[in-house]
Amino acid sequence: MNMDELFLAAQKAAEAAYAPYSRFRVGAALLGEGGAVHTGCNVENRSFGLTICAERTAAVKGISRGERGFTALAISTPDSPDPVGPCGACRQVLTEFMAPGARVRFGGSSPERVDTTIGELYPFDSLHDLARKKTP
Ligand code: THU
């Protein structure tokens, strides 16, 4: 599974988005350590703050299937021409299960893609380092 294929999975996942309030669909695809792909979409709520992002949907789906680490992430935002990166909350949640060097690609409806890493998106993660030191 390469980043192009993972991005295609994210594009497909965006089709299931439940976004009647923002009309902004998001799809995410996480590559599990064993090679399985876990996808997710945003799921909104009439109480707006209860909305869950596509990235966290994908992460909780993967973890609930027994996955414990992800090596790559792709995000598709088909309702924006420009690439849209993950929100701050998702960056922190993803770092729980991704090494800093894990690849991330995001893109919208234009051909432009951003290729980066989770460590670049969430740098100076001292809380993560502290947790790692304390975990047996
Ligand atoms: N959203 C995501 O699913 N992921 C992001 O990284 C950014 C925002 C969703 C939340 C909401 O349903 C809609 O996009 C507009 O913010």
Domains in the chain, CATH or no CATH each:
3-132 (3.40.140.10)
Write out pLDDT tens, residues 50-84: 999 999 999 999 999 999 999 999 999 999 999 99
Q: How far is the centre of ligand 1, averaged over its atoms, from the C-alpha of 125 (Å)?
A: 23
Ligand 1 centroid – CA 8 distance (Å)? 18
- What is the chain's Cα-based Rg? 14
Look at the block and give the residue holding tokens 């990235």. 55
Q: pTM of the prediction?
A: 0.94
Instruction: Give the pLDDT score at 134.
Output: 65
The vertex-103 CA angle with 99 and 109, nearest 5°, equals: 140
Kindly state the average pLDDT of the residues 81-90. 97
Pairing verdict, β 37-41 and 98-107? unpaired
Beta strands per DSSP E along 8-117: 27-32, 37-41, 70-76, 98-107, 113-117
Q: How many helices and strands in the chain, by DSSP H and E?
A: 5, 5
Say yes or no to pLDDT of 38 above 90. Answer: yes
Name the residues annotated as catalytic. 55
Q: What pLDDT does residue 90 have?
A: 97
| Mean pLDDT in residue range 87-113 | 97
Q: Which residue intervals of 15-95 are DSSP H helices?
A: 54-64, 88-95
Mean pLDDT of all residues in 11-29:
98
The reported pLDDT for the residue numbered 129 is 74
For residue 135, report the phi and psi dihedrals to the nearest 5 degrees. Answer: -75, 125
Q: Determine which helix (DSSP H) or strand (DSSP E) holds 10, and give its type and residue range.
A: helix 3-14
In what order do the strands lie in the sheet containing 37-41?
A: 37-41, 27-32, 70-76, 98-107, 113-117
Q: Can you give the pLDDT at residue 135? A: 59
- Ligand 1 centroid to Cα of residue 44, in Å, is 9
Residue ranges around ligand 1 (CB below 6 Å): 19, 22, 24, 26, 42, 44, 51, 53-55, 86-87, 90
